[in-house]
A and B are shown apart, each in its own frame.
Chain A
Amino acid sequence: MVEVHLWSGLRALTGGLEVVEVEATDTGEMLRALTRAHPQLQAPIDAGVSVTINGRVIASGLTEPIPGGAEVYLMQRIRGG
């Protein structure tokens, strides 16, 4: 199981949860599992999210492996100037 930390603005879409536990071994699976568990998360995920795994920012990759026990955060999509 992966504990996914959400930014607090998403609590309104998860019934107040800021940490959601899902079964996943990579970032793509994790995002799919999140929307299965909380369908309202589809909109922010479609708008663009990044993921951090143990502090490493995954800007957009859906195939990054998530090791057991990793610290995982969902963030709004990283862009630049």
Chain B
Amino acid sequence: MALDDLKTKDFAFVGTRPNRPDGLDKVTGRAKFGADAYAPGMLHGAILRSPHAHARILRIDTSKAEALKDVKAVVTRADFSDKVPFEPGLEGEFWNVLENVMAGDKALYDGHAVAAVAATSALAARDALKLIEVEYEILPHVTDVDKAMLADAPVIREGAADYSVPEGMHPNVVRMHESGHGDVAAGFAEADLVVEDHFTTEATHQGYIEPHACLATLGMDGKGELWCCTQGHWIVQKTCAALLGIETANLRVTASEIGGGFGGKTTVFIEPVALALSRKANKPVKLVMSRSEVFRATGPTASASMDIKIGMKKDGTITAAEGIFRLQGGAFPGGPAEFTAMCAFAPYSLSNVRQVGYDVMTNRPKQAAYRAPGSPMAAFAVESVIDELCNQLGLDPIEVRLKNASREGTKASYGPRFQQIGLVQTLEAAKAHPHLSAPLKPGQGRGISCGFWFNHGGETSVSLALSEDGSAQVMVGTPDIGGSRASMALMAAEVLGIPYDNIRVTIADTATLGYNDVSHGSRVTYASGLATIKAARHAVEKLCERAAKKWGIPVDAVKWENGCAVPSGPNAGDFDPLPLADITANMGQTGGPISGHFEATPEGAGVSFATHIVDAEVDPETGKTRVVRYTVIQDAGKAIHPTYVEGQFQGGAAQGIGWALNEEYIYGEDGRLQNSVFLDYRIPVASDLPMIDTVIVEVPNPGHPFGVRGVGETSICPPLAAIANAVSAAAGVRMRNLPMSPPRILSALKADG
């Protein structure tokens, strides 16, 4: 449903590039992140973690640790609520989270928390961990998704599979998705060429620079305060309350500045543990993860094993497409198999399509969301096969994608018809971009790929308060992970008609606003933005009422223009424009403070597409790959602050480069993670990256007052495929397994002869 008040042009503030409001704090060190909080009498927490991939916990003896004078509390699973029910699949997500933050009967992966200590110093806490005795019965383990589905694979947890899994599948398969339409067999029969292939991607970590950190206080009266680094403090509040058996409203959660999240901070890991320690010690407890703990015990993305089959006619028409996607999400349900399946073929208009996804448990950490969870791996597999079809049929990869592209009215591969979308515009922009026709040097290859993500709305509540001097405060509930404070201020400025610099946006705590969903799903500029616009309009209604009262005319005879109340027409009377600051100056005497508020669950996020162009070169002697040119073209609906939008585009590409070329969780035969520090887990640094060029396409989303579509996630959907297509072209051999690390490239070159 299109909003009847959609504005897509003639903006005064939206679309400009003012300085970021958090810039000075961040470059001077004044910004307070998770680990920057202190409280009088504060203790330090540390967590004991399983060294085994799969083991029954026979006994935990904490007595020696508790005997230390510096130790004030030790907690195990017994210190958490026993009222959290186990349910199959994702229905029992609170139980899954509880089991993840503190092991019950079994340790399910290397790094799984089994006990925790609070002591007077961080060193004393870590020393005390060494005195906790845990007796384990080591069990067989499995860390590979395909092996976890085999009949003889060890069972991680009986009864975890939900309704969707057919009888006869291994108990490690816990959810299944199947969708599509048409007759794929008939479609393949129509094709001039059918390519069928197998692809894998490894688990990668979101790699945020700031490790998880929190400061928790929970008194014996059941009232608590929690400061933490999170993408969503209301979900932290709700989850911690459930896991500790306290009332939600009695726990106030404040979000710190956040040093990156990318989906990985949409759940809890250490917060309930710190609260449990605080409750037992009756003191504030600070808990800060090491980088190694972040790798071992917080959510990487899922790894994937995928089979793709696509049929194409000689003219480039895709006749049928089929994909089987197996996602491992660690020792819990939640691998995003349904999203991998639903996103896989979404860029294309297909008469015959079928996609199947399996969510599979292994002895690895519980996966967490990572930008467009599930979609990048699907694009890697599907777009690699389309590239191969184009190569074998001698077709232009852009023209083939344009020929088959989803448009408004296309029946999506996952079911419904698309509303207004911008895929074709991104492909046309790619076709016209000088990058596509630039000559390549010997040893270089070029790849392109499209990508798709749904985007999200979610519960949202925003308040806006005007000050006597005519400035405005905006309180939002979505942690600023991508520049949202600047975007909110621009949207509020647009409605109020006051300068950007006169608006301060803060992230309110859970006691200040109604429930706000997490900063995920690329929802913040869309949903909090929509709510900010509506809250500002609410305040404008009140400003117009004050002006009407002052002028003695009906309120519907007043309108708001350029920051002033003005008569709505010649019949309304002859009054000079009344600026906002003139109305607020004496608002206490004309009816009281003026504020605006809006709360809703906006349901019009608008899906998003992107097209990426990549040039890569491969050194055949060493197998080293270098990305030499990169262009991101994406539909943003409307770019509120274009610099931040470009930053999101570039960030998605940079993380995609890491995922494609180097990043991977490496497990030994013993099921232990072998590369849990940045020295061994290689994320790209500035010197690894070319300048990433960006093109913002703007096809307005009818579900937002200014046409915004989320941009944070779609940018990571095409890179794996675009880079793989470029590297495959440069190496002369199809790369089917990520990451395309030097040993893999050399091995592929050798196998190709």
Q: Which residues from chain A sit less than 8 Å from chain B, CB to CB?
A: 5, 7-9, 12-13, 40, 43-44, 46-48, 52, 54-61, 64, 71, 73, 75-76, 78-81
* Residue contacts A-B, CB under 8 angstroms, 15 given: A7-B177, A8-B178, A12-B166, A47-B91, A48-B90, A52-B416, A56-B603, A56-B703, A57-B607, A59-B458, A59-B601, A73-B416, A80-B373, A81-B373, A81-B713
| A62 nearest in chain B by CB position | B601
User: A-B pairs with the 9 shortest C-beta distances?
Assistant: A80-B521, A81-B263, A81-B369, A9-B178, A43-B163, A52-B416, A80-B520, A7-B179, A73-B415
Q: Are A80 and B416 in contact (CB under 8 A)?
A: no
Q: Are A59 and B456 in contact (CB under 8 A)?
A: yes
Contact A75 to B263, CB < 8 A, known contacts A9-B177, A80-B523: no
Q: Are A75 and B164 in contact (CB under 8 A)?
A: no
Contact A78 to B178, CB < 8 A, known contacts A56-B419, A71-B417: no
Q: Are A7 and B415 in contact (CB under 8 A)?
A: yes
Contact A5 to B177, CB < 8 A, known contacts A47-B91, A48-B90, A79-B520: no
In the bound complex, residues from chain A placing their C-beta under 8 Å from that of B342 are 75-76
In the bound complex, residues from chain A placing their C-beta under 8 Å from that of B266 are 81
Dominant secondary structure at the A interface: mixed
Say which residue of B176, B372, B415, B455 sits within 8 Å of A5 (CB atoms): B415
Contact with A along B369-393 (1 / 0, CB 8 A): 1111100000000000000000000
Q: Are A80 and B522 in contact (CB under 8 A)?
A: yes
Which residues of B420-468 are within 8 A (CB) of A? 454-458
12 more A-B residue pairs beyond the given contacts A57-B605, A80-B523, with a C-beta to C-beta distance below 8 A = A7-B179, A8-B179, A8-B180, A9-B176, A43-B163, A55-B417, A56-B603, A58-B603, A59-B601, A75-B416, A81-B262, A81-B266
Query: Nearest Cβ in chain B — how far from A67, in angstroms?
Result: 9
Query: Most B CB atoms within 10 A — which of A52, A57, A58, A79?
Result: A79
| A58 nearest in chain B by CB position | B603
In the bound complex, residues from chain B placing their C-beta under 8 Å from that of A71 are 416-417
Q: Are B177 and A78 in contact (CB under 8 A)?
A: no
Q: Are A78 and B416 in contact (CB under 8 A)?
A: no
Q: Are A47 and B90 in contact (CB under 8 A)?
A: yes
Considering the chains assembled together, what is the distance between the CA atoms of A8 and B178 in angstroms?
6
Considering the chains assembled together, what is the distance between the CA atoms of A43 and B603 in angstroms?
23
In the bound complex, residues from chain B placing their C-beta under 8 Å from that of A7 are 177-179, 414-415
Query: Nearest Cβ in chain A — how far from B663, in angstroms?
Result: 16
Contact A57 to B603, CB < 8 A, known contacts A12-B166, A80-B263, A80-B713: yes
B604 at the interface (CB under 8 A from A): yes
Contact A57 to B454, CB < 8 A, known contacts A44-B163, A81-B262: yes
Say which residue of B91, B177, B414, B521 sits within 8 Å of A81 (CB atoms): B521
Q: Which residues from chain B sit less than 8 Å from chain A, CB to CB?
A: 1, 89-91, 162-164, 166, 176-180, 262-263, 266, 336, 338-339, 342, 354, 368-373, 414-419, 454-458, 520-523, 601, 603-605, 607, 703, 713
Q: Are B177 and A76 in contact (CB under 8 A)?
A: yes
Q: Are A55 and B419 in contact (CB under 8 A)?
A: yes
In the bound complex, residues from chain B placing their C-beta under 8 Å from that of A78 are 454, 456, 521
Contact A79 to B369, CB < 8 A, known contacts A7-B178, A47-B162: yes
Query: Nearest Cβ in chain A — how far from B371, in angstroms?
Result: 5
| B457 nearest in chain A by CB position | A59
Q: Are A81 and B370 in contact (CB under 8 A)?
A: yes
Query: Nearest Cβ in chain B — how far from A3, in angstroms?
Result: 12
Considering the chains assembled together, what is the distance between the CA atoms of A44 and B90 in angstroms?
10
In the bound complex, residues from chain A placing their C-beta under 8 Å from that of B457 are 59
In the bound complex, residues from chain A placing their C-beta under 8 Å from that of B178 are 7-9
In the bound complex, residues from chain B placing their C-beta under 8 Å from that of A13 are 163
| B419 nearest in chain A by CB position | A55
Query: Most B CB atoms within 10 A — which of A64, A73, A78, A81?
Result: A81
In the bound complex, residues from chain B placing their C-beta under 8 Å from that of A46 are 91
Say which residue of A40, A55, A75, A79 sits within 8 Å of B521 (CB atoms): A79
In the bound complex, residues from chain A placing their C-beta under 8 Å from that of B162 are 43, 47
Considering the chains assembled together, what is the distance between the CA atoms of A61 and B91 in angstroms?
18
Contact A80 to B91, CB < 8 A, known contacts A12-B166, A75-B414: no
| A67 nearest in chain B by CB position | B1
In the bound complex, residues from chain A placing their C-beta under 8 Å from that of B418 are 55
Considering the chains assembled together, what is the distance between the CA atoms of A47 and B90 in angstroms?
6
Considering the chains assembled together, what is the distance between the CA atoms of A74 and B455 in angstroms?
17
| B454 nearest in chain A by CB position | A78
Contact A81 to B371, CB < 8 A, known contacts A44-B163, A44-B164, A59-B457: yes
In the bound complex, residues from chain B placing their C-beta under 8 Å from that of A61 are 601, 603
Q: Are B605 and A79 in contact (CB under 8 A)?
A: no
Considering the chains assembled together, what is the distance between the CA atoms of A59 and B454 in angstroms?
10
Considering the chains assembled together, what is the distance between the CA atoms of A76 and B262 in angstroms?
22
Q: Are B419 and A80 in contact (CB under 8 A)?
A: no
Considering the chains assembled together, what is the distance between the CA atoms of A76 and B266 in angstroms?
19
Considering the chains assembled together, what is the distance between the CA atoms of A48 and B373 in angstroms?
17
Q: Are A76 and B338 in contact (CB under 8 A)?
A: yes
Considering the chains assembled together, what is the distance between the CA atoms of A39 and B450 in angstroms?
40
Considering the chains assembled together, what is the distance between the CA atoms of A44 and B354 in angstroms?
20
Query: Nearest Cβ in chain B — how far from A70, in angstroms?
Result: 10
Considering the chains assembled together, what is the distance between the CA atoms of A34 and B419 in angstroms?
25
Considering the chains assembled together, what is the distance between the CA atoms of A36 and B371 in angstroms?
37
In the bound complex, residues from chain B placing their C-beta under 8 Å from that of A73 are 415-416
| B166 nearest in chain A by CB position | A12
In the bound complex, residues from chain B placing their C-beta under 8 Å from that of A58 are 603
In the bound complex, residues from chain B placing their C-beta under 8 Å from that of A76 are 177, 338, 342
In the bound complex, residues from chain A placing their C-beta under 8 Å from that of B455 are 80
Considering the chains assembled together, what is the distance between the CA atoms of A19 and B136 in angstroms?
51
Considering the chains assembled together, what is the distance between the CA atoms of A12 and B414 in angstroms?
18
Query: Nearest Cβ in chain A — how far from B510, in angstroms?
Result: 20
Query: Nearest Cβ in chain A — how far from B162, in angstroms?
Result: 6
Query: Most A CB atoms within 10 A — which of B166, B415, B604?
Result: B415
| A5 nearest in chain B by CB position | B415
Q: Are B369 and A80 in contact (CB under 8 A)?
A: yes
Query: Nearest Cβ in chain A — how far from B327, in angstroms?
Result: 13
In the bound complex, residues from chain B placing their C-beta under 8 Å from that of A44 are 163-164
Considering the chains assembled together, what is the distance between the CA atoms of A9 and B713 in angstroms?
27
| B418 nearest in chain A by CB position | A55
Query: Nearest Cβ in chain B — how far from A7, in angstroms?
Result: 4
| B453 nearest in chain A by CB position | A80
Considering the chains assembled together, what is the distance between the CA atoms of A5 and B651 in angstroms?
37
In the bound complex, residues from chain A placing their C-beta under 8 Å from that of B1 are 56
| B374 nearest in chain A by CB position | A81
| A80 nearest in chain B by CB position | B521
In the bound complex, residues from chain A placing their C-beta under 8 Å from that of B605 are 57, 59
Considering the chains assembled together, what is the distance between the CA atoms of A55 and B523 in angstroms?
18
In the bound complex, residues from chain A placing their C-beta under 8 Å from that of B713 are 80-81
| A41 nearest in chain B by CB position | B163
Q: Are A56 and B371 in contact (CB under 8 A)?
A: no
Considering the chains assembled together, what is the distance between the CA atoms of A56 and B701 in angstroms?
11
Q: Are A79 and B373 in contact (CB under 8 A)?
A: yes
In the bound complex, residues from chain B placing their C-beta under 8 Å from that of A8 are 178-180, 354
| B521 nearest in chain A by CB position | A80
Q: Are B603 and A64 in contact (CB under 8 A)?
A: yes
In the bound complex, residues from chain A placing their C-beta under 8 Å from that of B371 are 81
